[in-house]
Structure formats: structure tokens, C-alpha cells
Amino acid sequence: MSFVAILSPAKSLNEKVEMPAQSEPLFLKKSATINKSLKKLDPKALMDLQNISQKLAELNAMRNRDWSVEAHSGIGTPALFTFSGDVYQGIDAETLNPEQVKMASDRLLILSGLYGLLRPMDAMLPYRLEMGTKFSVGKNPDLYAIWQKEITKFINSSYKDCTLVNLASVEYASAIDFKTLKLPVVDVQFKDFSNGKYKIISFFAKKARGYFARFLLNPEVKTIEHLQAFDTDGYFFSEADSNPNKLVFLRG
């Protein structure tokens, strides 16, 4: 059995990555169309659209202006090393060996509001555009309308013999049309013990998704039973809370 995992991106970025990217994003022309609309928004409009501070809005207005297709082959940095939020702290890409980086390219996909999908070593430029943003582009009322069909078609055609491991948030996983997805899907949840019961705590769950993504970079992980053996940072598999389409890991 082969696996491919989907991840959410991160708002936090490491803009000092020195490792060169190895490929261009799959849907760069469509990203350029989105960017063309973003460039029209001044900082005040970005504040209102994205509910961000003036300082962040000014930064992202500058990023939007500087973004270009051509820059990706010059100053673009690999996505897996550029995102630096909680999930990516769990992956800790800087400490991956070459074999693990290659496995990441085979097994990980990063969903993105601007790029649709990013493979780990795809070049990206700094941006901020969450998938759930109510941002219309042309006749498309939102980003889901732009990306859902494209992303689902690509996964169906490129990962025919794989099981999809869902490590993404609901906001980002919704960019896939699961009704037409031809792959079996396994959702993975992480719960911590708090106030007398197990529950999903966002900060810990995000980091655990990163730990699990890194766990998938082991070529020996080939079956659902192997997935159940995940035990990083004190998590353990709960058979009682799981089913064939959902793996639940508990801690505490």
C-alpha cells in the first residue's frame, strides 16, 4: 500500500531558506490569475478581506506586488522548508536526510489558497491567502471554485494506487471534492486529555500532524497497521475511537 498525505500550509514563513527549489508549482498560470486580482487590493482592502492588522496588510500588499511567475525560477524557495508554522515545526524539515526529502516529494502534498497544490520541493514566493477567504476571481465566487476540480483531478490521475491520509484542516481539505475522489481516504485525529476528557486542542493537534507527516517519510511505513504504530511525543493509537476511515491517537 502506498500513501499520499495532504497538509494545510502555514501563515508563518521562513524567508531565509537557502536550499534551492527543484520544481515549479503545478498550476502556476492559475496562481498568476489570482495574484493579478490580489495586486489590485491596497492595504486597507486587504485588512478588510483577511481580517489582519495594518502592518500585515502592508507587508502582504508588497508581497503581492513583488510576486511574479518569473521570480519562482530565481528566488523561489521549496515549500516544505518555507512554511514554518506548528505543523512544519513538527516536520522539522531542516533535519531531514536526502532520502526523507525524496520520500516527502512522493508522499506529501501541501494545499494552498494561492497555488492550489504545492509539492514539497516546489518553488514558492511569500504570500498570505487562506483557502477559506471569500475572494472572487473572475466568475469564481471563491477559491474553492477555482481549485477543487483541478486539485481533485490531479490527485486522481497521479496517485491512483494510493490511500489519501488527511492531515489537513477542514478549511483546506474542503478544497478536494471527496465525492469524486477515487482514492480511499483515512482521516487522522489527535486528542489530548484535558479537563477530564480527550479533545482536539488546536496547537497540539497541528504539531502532531507534522510529527505524523514526518513519520510517513519512513519507507517501511506501508500499511494501515504501520500507521497505527505512530507513537511520537507520547501519542498512542486508540482502537476504540478509530474505524477503517479514521485513525485516532490520544495523549495524556
- The string of pLDDT tens digits covering residues 1-34 is 799 999 999 999 999 999 999 999 999 999 999 9
Which pLDDT score, from 0 to 100, does residue 247 have? 98
What burial letters (b/e) apply to 17-55, b meaning 16+ CB within 10 Å? beeebebebbbbebbeebbeebeebebeebbeebebeee
- The string of pLDDT tens digits covering residues 95-154 is 999 999 999 999 999 999 999 999 999 999 999 999 999 999 999 999 999 999 999 999
Q: Return d(Cα 54, Cα 92) in angstroms, integer.
A: 31
- Percentage of the chain modeled with pLDDT above 90: 99
Q: Which whole number is the average pLDDT over 241-249?
A: 97
Helices 143-158, 28-38: crossing angle, 10 deg rounding:
170
pTM for the complete prediction? 0.97
What are the residue ranges of helices labelled H in 39-188? 43-50, 54-66, 79-82, 86-91, 98-107, 143-158, 170-173
- The string of pLDDT tens digits covering residues 36-82 is 999 999 999 999 999 999 999 999 999 999 999 999 999 999 999 99
- The string of pLDDT tens digits covering residues 162-203 is 999 999 999 999 999 999 999 999 999 999 999 999 999 999
Q: Strand 2-7 vs strand 162-167: parallel, antiparallel, or unpaired? A: parallel
Which pLDDT score, from 0 to 100, does residue 157 have? 97
For 49, 199, 243, the CA distances from 239, given in Å and listed in that order, are 43, 16, 8
